[in-house]
Structure 1
């Protein structure tokens, strides 16, 4: 197999896994050419110095592809519109970043005439599935190399040993060796003390949180923010129109400062095990809440119920890496149809980790104050409810009467 692999395109983040994979590939595949590709989905300073590092460790070149705006508008926003949340807490930050990155890697691999695509996902994780399903969708005949499934390295400590032996610079040490994934939408933390669910996350410890502060350290004064939506898409904050990248960045700033968006959960991985993770999603948590509030006045009850049911499946699809499937596309078409009237303004109060509804308006509101009022009105005849209750309760009444009749005959 080694003789057949002459050129490999590597999904490269510059983190621990992919840092050691470049020399490992060259050692194990006859000094093959390694082309590194990094998808920029808002990692920020993590991309600093990446090209120099990739080339010094053996890559022939590095692509850094700016995918941030597309990531927000084409992957994040459709998921928010769907109201998709995995297992009631996880806002899918890593999950929907993988398809767009893998798609671009597959396109570059085809353009470069590569023999294989390599990724640094572990054999225990979800990302291996997400990457490989996307690769199959765009480069179905491409060979995939997953070192964690074939090499002798068994732990992150051993990875650090390998890096030190090969003089590969790392931004972490053994004491701060959390497994992290960062993009514009979120930051995840796994490993070390977090592997035991009995351990409380060290939110107040300097350096642990990166996108915000603990609610205990948030200001004593609340922050108000108004978000405008057009057909379920956020387009402005406090009257200022913004693109997706700018809007999410602004909400991250506001949410992070107020301790918003921390989630500590034990989730069910696709590969069958439970995994404990801590997530920071300040701006995303605000957007989900605002969108949910706006839908309460713009979507009818029966549509909302079906949408709520389908949102669980939509979250599973995203989590499981099935973005590029007919089912996801069909479900997105349904969601898009439901969003035609989800236009309006939502005002929220941010305070010490809490998001409090402070008012909502929409030109398409289904809330009629004249009908709902407790004061006198001329549009609702309260006497009509008696007949409604008689019909609505008829099955209960009939069952009870027949039960009484049967008991009398005993």
Structure 2
């Protein structure tokens, strides 16, 4: 087995020895070396262009900033710097093999002032301008050393090109690469903003629909009934009295619908008494017995409190509609700077985030405020949904 292993491990050596042809050594003047040489020689032109552009655009914009056109010119110059940075990243990828991502585009802003402020505080553009300013001496140095190595110091060319190219890679990564954490947060916030806007629009449409189909329709019918009762008041007092009595019942129903709608927007008990009382109230409407345990020494931010309330409310609706459970529990506590919620039921399980029970949308809404939703629902149960929200306390003026 040892002999077989040795022969399999080095087939090329045996083949070369059998044919009498020596193995070809790796040359120092390969394709990667010539790509690095091309990059270093082109540094003279690109660094000269970057330096001139950075000096002219910044000085012109800053010098004219006392006028109306100064800051817009500076913003346009920074936008052009982004294009130069893209060109440099492409050159580094193609010739030096630097794996550097493109930064995220500037967020869209409505109006001129929004665009202007976004462009002026663009960190990607400012780092590109800095890259252009500091690289002119380096570009002259790399061009000179590489050219001399090509013409005079030929044996030193591979070593010199590798050394200089390594420094260039470091500059590209340091100044032209996007900040991974910052870019990730920008992308997340852009997505979260879209989720919040869509959720708010959906809530407004729901409120409008509930008002139109519920309380508004009932109030219209009430007005018509009272009008008919007024006409019959003299001719048929008994019929008018019956109509008024019916209208009185319609008023009670309309008021109840408005209360329910207001509770869906923000329940008064949550504002007045906090999560403990509000969750006890919503749990009492669940079709299965619910044990509520809220362990909070103080109240979180009002917006977080509202999100927590509606999260538990929607989860308990899922318990009522889908779980076939006999009992459920709600637990709320604080862990550091996070508000923790957990809703558990002893139902049949098998719930999924994409199962049409609204859990996917609930997870997106929590994510919009840096929250997390975790589902554990094996087939046969039990189901446990854990939500985590930022605390963001109310401050000294809190109730």
Shorter-normalised TM-score: what interval?
Answer: under 0.3
* Structure with more relative contact order (C-alpha pairs < 8 Å, separation 6 or more): 1
| Higher strand content, 1 or 2 | 1
| Higher helix content, 1 or 2 | 2
TM-score (norm 2): 0.19
TM-score (norm 1): 0.19
